[in-house]
Structure 1
Amino acid sequence: MGGCGGSGNTGSSGADGNTLILWTHNAGNAAEYGVVKQIVKDFNAGQSTYKVKIQAFPQGSYNDSVVAAASAKKLPCILDVDGPNVPNWAWGGYLAPLDLSQGKVAVKDQLPSTVATYQDKTYAFGFYDVALTMYSRKSVLNKYGIRVPTFDKPWTEDEFMGALAKIKAGGEFKNTLDLGTADTGEWFPYAYSPILQSFGGDLIDRSTYKTAKGALDGEKAVEWGKWFRSMVTKGYAPQKSSKSPADDFRNGKTAIQWDGSWSAQANTDKFGSDLAILPPVDFGNGPKIGGASWQWGMSSTCANKEGAQAYLNFSRQTKYFVDFAKATNTIPATDAAAAQVKGYEAGGRFNIFLKAAQEFAVVRPVTPAYPYVSTVFSKTARDILAGADVKGALDRAVSEIDTNLKTNNFYAGS
C-alpha cells in the first residue's frame, strides 16, 4: 500500500444508524465462519441497541477488497485483518485504536502475538495463534539412531544436518525434508524468516525500522541463505514442494516436514503415538517461530464506533476463544481457553504448541512497511532456492526495502 492515506479522518461508513457491517475473510472456511456467525447471533440476541450484519469474502480477494473500500471510504465498521498487516492498516488510516477494557477476557491474559499494537496503541486482537513445528515419526528417528529433540533441548544445527544426512543415505524417502516451498503468499516470510532469525539475521533492523542493512544482508543472513540453498543442492528438500506436502508426509514420502500446528490433529490421526512433534532447530540464536494470525479490529471511518466497540468487547469471552480454537485446530490465545481445548490443556499432547508460541514466537516486523518487506523477502528466498548468488540477492533485497522506506519518509506519522 503506497502512501499514508489518512482515510480515517474524513467521512464515515460501515453503519446505518445502529446497524453495523462486519467483514470477514472466512467465506471459504465453513468452520471458522460458523463461529463468527454464532458470536454475531449471540450479540444481536443479547441486546437491543445494535445489530451486526456479516459480509464474508474469500481469503484470496479479501485484502484487495479492504484496500478498495478504504480508498472509497466505504469500509465496514468491524473487520478482520492478518496480524502482520495491522501496522500498515493503522498507518494508512484504515483502523482505529481499540478500548478492550470492557471484555471479559483481559488483554494481559492473551498470548502477546495475538494482540496487535502500533505506536503504543492496540488496534486488533485475535482469538488464536498457530505455531511452526517439524513433524517426523519416532520409529524413523530411532531407526537411524537420531535423538528425538525436546522442547528444552532442541536440535542444534549440527545435529539437524547429521540427521538429514543419515536419513538421506537410507534412501527410503522421496523427501528427507519438506519445507513447503510450493506455498505462496505470506508462507515464505512466516515459515523462513524465523529460521533467518535463529541464524542471527532478520528482515529489518528493528532498533530503528529505518533500514534492512546489516539485518538482511549481514554475515548471519548470508549463512542462512547458503543453508537454505544447500537443502536443495544436497538433495534433502525439493526446490518446489508438491501442492500437498502434508499429504506427502502422511503418505510416507517425507521423513521430516516443516509445517504448522494446524496439521497436528490429522497427523496424530494417521500416526498415533508414533508421531514426533519436534521443536524448531536452534541455529545459534535460539529456536524461533512466527507469531500472529488473523485478528479483529474497527475501521477508523466507522460511523458507530461505540457499537463496534460493544461488539468487539462482547466477543471477548473465553467460550469464543475456545470455539475458534476448536473450529480451526489452532492454539487458544489464553490459558483459560487452552484448558478447555482437548490436547492443549496442561500436559496435553499439543500443549507444546502453546509453549512454543509463548517462548519462541517472533512477530513479523511491526512497521507499515511490512507488506512490502514481505513481498521482497519472498521473491529473494525463491531466487536463492533457484540458485541465485546469496549475497547478491540479499544486497538487492536490502536496496529495494531501504528505497521503499526512504520514499515513504520511513512511514513517519499517520
Structure 2
Amino acid sequence: MKRKSLSIIVAAGLSAALALGGCARASQDSAGAPGEITMWTHSAGNPGELAVYKQIIADFNASQHQYKIVQQNFPQGSYNDAITAAAAAHKLPCLLDMDGPVMPNWAWAGYLQPLGLPDSLINSLLPTTVGRYRNTVYSAGYWDAALSIFARRSVLDKNNIRIPTVDKPWTLDEFDAAVTTLKANGYATPLDLGAADTGEWWSYAYSPMLQSAGGDLINRGTMKSADGALNGPDAVTFFTWFQQAFTNKWADNSGPVGNQRFIDNKVALSYTGVWNAKDALAAVGGDLLILPPVDFGKGPKIGGGSWQWGISAGCPNADGARAYLKFSFQDSYLTAFADSQVVIPSTASAAAASKYFSDTGALHQFAVLSQKFALARPATPGYPVISSTFEKAAKDIMNGAEVKSTLDTAVQAIDTDIKSQNNYGF
C-alpha cells in the first residue's frame, strides 16, 4: 500500500480558500472546556498509527492537569475537505497534521504559527522532517519515507550486473546498460518506475531524478521562477532520457500501482518506497536488494518530506499545544510509529531502537538512503501548482510530447502563478 506521505497534494479548493484569506490570521474556536486542545489527524482507518497517537495523548494528559488533548480523526479522503471548511470558517483546530510540501502554502496564508519547539529538538530531527518557510520552522514530523530500487541479488549476479552501493551508485550509463541487459535476457519490461500512479507521486518520485541531473522544479535560490531550472539543458537531458525509457520499453505505465510486478518477478528492478519493503522482504527474503538511486550526473537524490504537525495561528492554548508536541517527540514514540507503519524515524536514536531500521534491521538501508540522499520539495506556497504542472508535463513527455516546448509551457504556467501571487512572499 502506498504511504500517506505520497498522497495527492491538498485540493485546489484549499489553496483557493487560503489565498482568499491572504495573510489574515485564523481564529480558533475550541468550543470545549478551558485547557482543551483540539487535534485533527488524517489517520482514521489506520489502526496502527492511531494506537500510537492514543498512547501519546493518554500519557501526556496523565502527565499534567493544565491541558487536555482532544483528538478527532478523519479518513484521508475527507481530511482536506474538513480543513478547507474549517479554514474558511476560521475554526481550525489547535493541532493539525499536513503533508510536508503543503505547509508553506498554509504558513503564507497565515493559518499557522511558528512551531516554537526547542532548537535542540529540531536539530535532532532528519532535515526533511522539519518544515520551514522563509527560514522559520512551522512544522515537524515523527517519520519520513524513502525511495529505493528493489532488485534480486540472484538476477543481477546471473546477468553480471554490478550491485551498486551508497558510496558507488550506478551511473546513468551503467543503469542504461543494466536495463538493456535485463530486457535482452527475459524481462519484457525490466523496470517498474511506478508511472501508473498519479498525483504527488510524480513530483516525489521523479523530481529527485531531475535534480540529480542538475535541474529542479524551481530556482530555489529565489523561489521566484522555474525558468532555467525546469527547462534548462540539464532538465531537457533528463526528460529526454525519461521519454526514451518508455520508448525503449524499459518501463511502462500499465500498472498496477505498487510493487506487485516485482514480487511476481515480472520486472527485475522496481523504483519504489519503504512502504512496500515489508511485503517485498516477505516474498523475496534474503535475495532482496535495497539499492541506492541512480546518479544522473550531479549526485543521487531521493524525495523527502512527509506528514508533519503544526499549530494553527489562532490557537488559544498554543503553549499547551507546544508542550504536547515537545512531549510527543520522545524516541519511544518515534520508534513505535516506525515499527507499526514501516517508516523511517526522524531521530537517529529512535532508528537505533527500531526492529526494522536499526544497524542490524532488515530495512536499515532506507535510513541510510534518507540520511544521505533525501531532498525536500521546494518550500514555497506555490508548490501545489508546481507539483500539478510538473505531473502534467512529465506525463505528456512520457507519452511522446516534444521535450523542450513541453517544459517551456510548464515553466510559463508556474511563473504566471508565482507572479499572480506577488512571488508568495519571496
Tell me whether the two structures share a fold, i.e. TM-score over 0.5. Answer: yes
1:336 aligned to which of 333, 349, 360: 349
CA deviation profile, 1:146-168 (whole Å, cap 9, x unmatched): 00111110000000000000000
Please give the alpha-carbon distance, in whole angstroms, between the structure 2 residues aligned to 1:80 and 1:14: 17
Q: Is the 8 A contact 1:23 1:56 kept in 2?
A: yes
* Structure 1 runs, 4 residues or longer, greater than 6 Å off: none
3-state SS of paired residue (1:26): strand
The aligned residue for residue 134 of structure 1 is: 149
Please give the alpha-carbon distance, in whole angstroms, between the structure 1 residues aligned to 2:272 and 2:146: 9
The aligned residue for residue 91 of structure 2 is: 74
Q: Is the 8 A contact 2:104 2:132 kept in 1?
A: yes
Q: How many angstroms does 1:307 deviate by?
A: 1.8
Supply the RMSD in Å over aligned alpha carbons. 1.6
Matched, 1:197 2:214: no
Structure 1 305/181 Cα, relative in aligned 2: closer, same or farther at 3 Å? same
Q: How many angstroms does 1:8 deviate by?
A: 5.2
Matched, 1:46 2:63: yes
The aligned residue for residue 253 of structure 1 is: 266
The aligned residue for residue 290 of structure 1 is: 303
The aligned residue for residue 88 of structure 1 is: 105
Please give the alpha-carbon distance, in whole angstroms, between the structure 2 residues aligned to 1:315 and 1:122: 17
Q: How many angstroms does 1:45 deviate by?
A: 2.1
Q: How many angstroms does 1:332 deviate by?
A: 0.9
The aligned residue for residue 183 of structure 1 is: 197
What amino acid is aligned across from residue 56 of structure 1 in structure 2?
N
Please give the alpha-carbon distance, in whole angstroms, between the structure 1 residues aligned to 2:333 and 2:111: 26
Matched, 1:13 2:29: yes
CA deviation profile, 1:59-113 (whole Å, cap 9, x unmatched): 22322321221111010110101111111111011111112129xx722111111
Q: Is the 8 A contact 1:15 1:304 kept in 2?
A: no
What amino acid is aligned across from residue 229 of structure 1 in structure 2?
Q
The aligned residue for residue 114 of structure 2 is: 97
Q: How many angstroms does 1:344 deviate by?
A: 1.6
3-state SS of paired residue (1:245): coil
3-state SS of paired residue (1:281): coil
Q: How many angstroms does 1:327 deviate by?
A: 1.4
Q: How many angstroms does 1:6 deviate by?
A: 4.2
1:169 aligned to which of 184, 199, 206: 184
Please give the alpha-carbon distance, in whole angstroms, between the structure 2 residues aligned to 1:281 and 1:67: 39
Please give the alpha-carbon distance, in whole angstroms, between the structure 2 residues aligned to 1:299 and 1:160: 46
Matched, 1:275 2:294: no
3-state SS of paired residue (2:160): coil
Further displaced range: 44-53 or 139-148 = 44-53
Structure 2 residue runs without a partner (length 5+): 1-14
Please give the alpha-carbon distance, in whole angstroms, between the structure 2 residues aligned to 1:346 and 1:87: 34
Please give the alpha-carbon distance, in whole angstroms, between the structure 1 residues aligned to 2:25 and 2:258: 46
Q: Is the 8 A contact 1:249 1:256 kept in 2?
A: yes
Q: How many angstroms does 1:136 deviate by?
A: 0.7
Q: Is the 8 A contact 1:178 1:241 kept in 2?
A: no
Further displaced range: 201-210 or 259-268 = 259-268
Please give the alpha-carbon distance, in whole angstroms, between the structure 2 residues aligned to 1:183 and 1:68: 28
The aligned residue for residue 242 of structure 1 is: 255
Please give the alpha-carbon distance, in whole angstroms, between the structure 2 residues aligned to 1:45 and 1:329: 28
Please give the alpha-carbon distance, in whole angstroms, between the structure 1 residues aligned to 2:26 and 2:337: 34
Matched, 1:58 2:72: no
Please give the alpha-carbon distance, in whole angstroms, between the structure 2 residues aligned to 1:34 and 1:299: 24
2:234 aligned to which of 190, 212, 220: 220
The aligned residue for residue 264 of structure 1 is: 277
Please give the alpha-carbon distance, in whole angstroms, between the structure 2 residues aligned to 1:120 and 1:4: 24
- 1:114-133 aligned at under 5 Å gives the runs 114-133=129-148
The aligned residue for residue 11 of structure 2 is: none
The aligned residue for residue 317 of structure 1 is: 330
Q: Is the 8 A contact 1:178 1:245 kept in 2?
A: no
1:210 aligned to which of 216, 224, 231: 224
3-state SS of paired residue (2:235): helix
What amino acid is aligned across from residue 163 of structure 1 in structure 2?
A
Q: How many angstroms does 1:50 deviate by?
A: 1.4
The aligned residue for residue 108 of structure 1 is: 123
Q: How many angstroms does 1:142 deviate by?
A: 0.9
3-state SS of paired residue (2:150): strand
3-state SS of paired residue (1:206): coil
3-state SS of paired residue (1:109): coil
3-state SS of paired residue (1:62): helix
Q: How many angstroms does 1:303 deviate by?
A: 2.0
The aligned residue for residue 362 of structure 2 is: 349
3-state SS of paired residue (2:401): coil
CA deviation profile, 1:228-255 (whole Å, cap 9, x unmatched): 11111101111x2413431111111111
What amino acid is aligned across from residue 400 of structure 2 in structure 1?
G
What amino acid is aligned across from residue 227 of structure 1 in structure 2?
W
What amino acid is aligned across from residue 104 of structure 2 in structure 1?
P
Further displaced range: 158-167 or 11-20 = 11-20
Q: Is the 8 A contact 1:8 1:95 kept in 2?
A: no
CA deviation profile, 1:145-203 (whole Å, cap 9, x unmatched): 100111110000000000000000112x3431001112122100000000001111000
Q: With the length of structure 2 as denominator, give the TM-score of the two structures.
A: 0.93
Please give the alpha-carbon distance, in whole angstroms, between the structure 2 residues aligned to 1:96 and 1:15: 20
Further displaced range: 10-19 or 291-300 = 10-19
